Amino acid sequence: MSAEPEAGAVPAAEPSLPHMVRLVQVIAELREHCLWTADLTHEALSRYLIEEAQETVEEIEAGPVGDPVREDRFRTELGDVLLQVVLHAQLAAERGAFDLDAVAEAITAKLIRRNPHVYAEDGTLDPQPATREEIEAAWARIKQQEKS
């Protein structure tokens, strides 16, 4: 007998994300075999990152997401933002700096650090009650400490 997940609980991430793996592969192949993609730099991509993020915001602000057409447009816009992240990570990987997995590792570590009401210092799950104000104050304090 398996335990039922809590109502509203987010399911655990799949251990294998085949579409993400394929996206990373396609970007690497395009960098190798497409002249336009091969010529991209972080600087050249920066305007697209802003543009795609703005288009995603516009889609959100267009009204409640919910109907299938809106969901498809929203998913597409999120994909465009994801493409920018994967492209930047690929460029960094090509120069030996970091890869997409390192980007995911960094944001995961940041989320754990900045949510001490959910995670213990060692990163283990340890949810504690907290108000929105306490959560926002902790986030701001920790962010400031990280910048110092």
| pLDDT category of residue 5 using cuts at 50, 70 and 90 | very low
Domain 19-103 class? mainly alpha
Between these two residues, 8 and 83, which has the higher pLDDT value?
83
Residues 95-122 have a mean pLDDT of 97
For residues 53 and 56, give the distance between their C-alpha atoms in angstroms, rounded to a whole number: 5
Q: Which amino acid is at 113?
A: R
Task: Please write the tens of the pLDDT for every residue from 66-102.
Answer: 888 889 999 999 999 999 999 999 999 999 999 999 9
pLDDT of residue 33: 97
Task: Give the pTM.
Answer: 0.83
What local confidence, expressed as pLDDT, does residue 1 receive? 43
Decide if pLDDT at 105 tops 80. Answer: yes
- Per the CB < 8 A criterion, the answer to whether 113 and 141 are in contact is no
pLDDT digits (tens, 9 = 90+) for 9-68: 566 655 689 999 999 999 999 999 999 999 999 999 999 999 999 999 999 999 887 888
Give the residue, 67 or 6, on which the prediction is more confident. Answer: 67
Alpha carbons 91 and 41: distance in angstroms, whole number: 7
Where in the chain are all domains bearing CATH 1.10.287.1080?
Answer: 19-103
Q: Which residues fall within 8 angstroms of residue 80, CB to CB, at 6 or more apart?
A: 52, 55, 56
Question: What's the pLDDT at 126?
Answer: 97
